[in-house]
Structures are given as structure tokens and as C-alpha cells.
A and B are shown apart, each in its own frame.
Chain A
């Protein structure tokens, strides 16, 4: 009886280990196959990532180059303006036009508005109420314009005369460039005027802040980037 018990015990151990072995080899096999596939994807991903990084680096260089060039042009123009009053007059008009067209980076006092979906959007019955829509961003931008904002950018994209503001899913598209939440609207203008325009009773902030996260910060100096790609837009 005791021998048989022993035998049973051994048998149990042996079969248990066999089961382990079989399953392990099977799993490993499957895993290596998956890993190989993952590896391929991973390689592809790293390649893409590398290219994006390289491209970004290059774009930064080009941006600097463009800024340098603009500065050089600016110097030549200023030198001309110093020599001749007619040139000075034209230059001041040119500077104003460039700023309004959005083709130069500008800085000045202003306001920064950050909009984000409400944290408890997922828990509420009507989710659509608690996420930031494109019309909300447009509403804020429109209010800023009405309050005399001189220049506006959204997530680093300068808003120019033919800019669009669109949302697709959780991303926003301005000037054809996609970026993710939070949506940061930056405007140059009188900070107090802009702030109070947004804070009017029954105004934009009041109607939005019950639903989405929105914060307003007055700033002594904000910097807006230039709109890139004006050369491609065809103007008849």
C-alpha cells in the first residue's frame, strides 16, 4: 500500500513536470514567433521615430535659418530706412503688414487660455457635453478677436486670415497641423481687456467652465510663432 502511494506521488510529480515542459516549449515557440513579428514592427517603429527626429531637427535648423534670413533682410531694410525717409515709411507699413499677415514671430503682453476635456466626462450621462469641441475653441478665439486681440495662436500654430480650426477626435487641426489636447490658445492684446471680455457674466468662460476645464492666465509677455508656408499659398 505504501509502495503504491509512493508510486502515485512520483507519477504525479513526473506528469506535472511533463505538462510544464510541454506547455513551456509550446509557449516559447509561440512567443518567439510573436517576438520576431514585434521585432519587425519595433524596427519599423524605431526607423520611423528616427526619421521623425531627424526631420524635426532639420526643421529646427531650417527655422533658425529662416529667422536668420529674416533678420538679415530686416537689417538691410532698416539700413535703407535710415538713409531715406520714403523707405522708413514703407518699412513701418511693411512691418505692420507682416505682423498682421502673421509671417513674422511676434511678442507682447497677452493671455493664455488652456482648454481640456472635463475629468469626469466619462462618468457623466452626456459625454458630449463635457469634451472640448471645435466650436468651443472657435468661440474663445472669436471672443478674443472681438476684444481686440492682435494676434492669436493655437497650440503653436499662428491663426492667419485663412486658418481653419477643426477637431477630429481628441486632436485639433489648425493650418493643417494636428496637435493633441490640452488646447492652448495664446493671444496678444491688452491682458485686462481680454480677460474681462472672457469673464463677462454670461460670457464665454461662464458658459464653458461648467462643462470643460478651462483656465485663463494673464501674461506680461507671450511669444507667438510665425505662420510657415506662406510662399505656397497662391494669391492671385
Chain B
């Protein structure tokens, strides 16, 4: 009898201890969910890095304008300050793509995979459709986007320089760059670091993608590459420079 009741007591003690532990753990974990803070640290670091980069860029821009201001102020004659202004104009026009540029870069030829190499076909011939796909506007936009993402300074397609307002779109069966029609074979020139651009093309699988359209992509490095100016004349109608800060 005594033996049995001891056993029961013993079992009871163990069970209640276990229940106690379980209850506590349950309460603890439901009352204080553990926050994870570490995920955002990497994100914060990139944000900081970007801000630092912006800082550097701003400083560079400021020093550039400071220099310009200084040049204006110290020019002795009006002719001299006008020539300073003209220099600034030339620099800005280069940035806007209104002036031809020269430097190292790559040339990408997109040619039909089947036809033997006759790049200079009759310009007025319609594009023969080979295979199931053709190169469309998004293919070209995708390609130039890869180039820009990898540091290309200037890009032209079949001699048409791309600027901030250049549209590449399908119009009927052909591709138009702004208002000009371009036809295959496409020749894309890009100024930038040749190795970086070439490896970017490989990495993104440009060749494979264009192969689906039965096109061969021939890319090669050039030490000296000339990219012509964008000679579309634009009349600015709507935008005006913001002169005052917070002027809205």
C-alpha cells in the first residue's frame, strides 16, 4: 500500500514538474517573441554606401560649378567670359549626346546566322524573317540597357546615337529609332571599358538569346571608336529649368 502510494507521488511529482516547465516556456515565448534585427544590417550598409557615393558625386559637381563660377569671375574681358561659356556649352552638349565622341569601346554586329557575311545589303530590302522569332524593339532595348548598366558612356545603333529621349520601337515590321527606320543587320557601338562590356554580354546571355532569332552576335573590342552625334533637332516646349529651390 505504502509502496504504491510512493510510486504515485513520484510520478505525480515528475509530471507536474514537466507541466510547470512547459507552461513557463510557452508563456515566455508567447510573451516575448524574439526580434531578429540582423537582416536589415546588410541593407543599411548598402544604403549608407549609396549615400556616400552620392556625397562624392555632389562634391564633384560642386567643385565643377565652383570652378566655372571662378572662371567667369576672373575672366578679364567679356570675350573671355563668353569663351568660358562656350566651353561649358561644349561640355554640356557632349553630355547631352549632341557631339560625337571618341574612345575605346566595343562594336556588336547582329547578323543573320545563315547568310554568309554580306553586311552591306541593299538598304531598301525588307528584312527576311528567319526562324520563328525576329529581333524586336525590346531585344535592342534590353541589349543597350545591359551596355549602359555596365558603364557604357555612349551607344549608337546603326549610326543613331541614343540620348535621354531616344525611343526604340516597333513600327509595323521594322524598328524605328526616334523617327528613323533601321534595318538588319544591326551594328551597335558602345563606348566604355571593352573587357567589362564584353564580359557583361557573355554573362547576360546575349548570344544565346539572339540565337533564338537566328541571329549571330559578333562583338569585338576597338581601341579607337567614333560615335557620332545625335543630330535630331529638338524644340523644347514644355520643360523649364528650376531656378529657385522649393519653387513649386
Interface residues of A (CB under 8 A from B): 4, 7-8, 11-12, 15-20, 22-24, 27, 31, 34, 38, 41-42, 44-45, 48-49, 51-52, 55-56, 58-59, 62-74, 76-77, 80, 83-84, 86-87, 90-91, 93-110, 134-135, 138-139, 142-143, 145-146, 149-152, 159-166, 173, 176-178, 188-190, 221, 223-224, 228-236
Contacts and interface: CB of A to CB of B under 8 A. Distances in A.
B44 A49 contact: yes
A231 B164 contact: no
A108 B240 contact: yes
Interface stretch (B33-41, B180-188, B209-217): B33-41
B129 interface: no
Given A41-B38, A99-B239, A235-B153, A59 B55 contact: yes
B98 A100 contact: yes
A80 B78 contact: yes
Interface in B39-71: 40-41, 44-48, 50-66, 68-69
Nearest to B21: A23
A62 B58 contact: yes
A181 B230 CA distance: 33
Nearest to B225: A236
A23 B24 contact: yes
A135 B12 CA distance: 68
Contact of B92 (A7, A98, A188): A98
A85 B187 CA distance: 43
Interface of B: 5, 8-9, 12-14, 16-21, 23-25, 28, 32, 34-35, 37-38, 40-41, 44-48, 50-66, 68-69, 72-73, 78, 81-82, 85-86, 88-89, 91-98, 101-103, 137-138, 141-142, 145, 148-149, 152-155, 162-169, 191, 234, 236-245, 247-248
Given A87-B85, A100-B97, A149-B165, 8 more contacts: A15-B16, A41-B41, A52-B47, A71-B244, A80-B81, A101-B95, A142-B167, A152-B165
Nearest to B151: A162
Contact of B20 (A15, A69, A177): A15
A82 B91 CA distance: 23
Given A77-B72, A99-B236, A228 B50 contact: no
Nearest to A76: B72
Contacts of A38: 34-35, 37
A150 B28 contact: no
Contact of A150 (B18, B21, B94, B237): B237
13 contacts: A16-B16, A44-B41, A48-B48, A90-B86, A107-B240, A107-B248, A108-B240, A135-B138, A150-B237, A160-B164, A228-B57, A231-B57, A234-B153
Contacts of B32: 31
Given A41-B37, A101-B95, A19 B237 contact: no
Given A161-B95, A233-B95, A76 B69 contact: yes
A134 B89 CA distance: 34
B24 A19 contact: yes
A225 to B, nearest CB: 9
A73 B69 CA distance: 6
Contact of B89 (A51, A67, A93): A93
A73 B60 CA distance: 16
A151 B153 contact: no
A110 B238 contact: yes
A70 B92 CA distance: 14
- Among B23, B137, B141, B152, find the residue whose CB has the most chain A CB atoms closer than 10 A: B141
A128 B34 CA distance: 33
Nearest to B148: A164
A150 B239 contact: yes
Contacts of A34: 34
Given A66-B58, A142-B168, A188-B239, A223 B35 contact: no
Given A62-B62, A80-B78, A161 B96 contact: yes
B236 A230 contact: no
A84 B82 contact: yes
Contacts of A236: 101-103, 153, 191
B238 A108 contact: yes
A144 B17 CA distance: 72
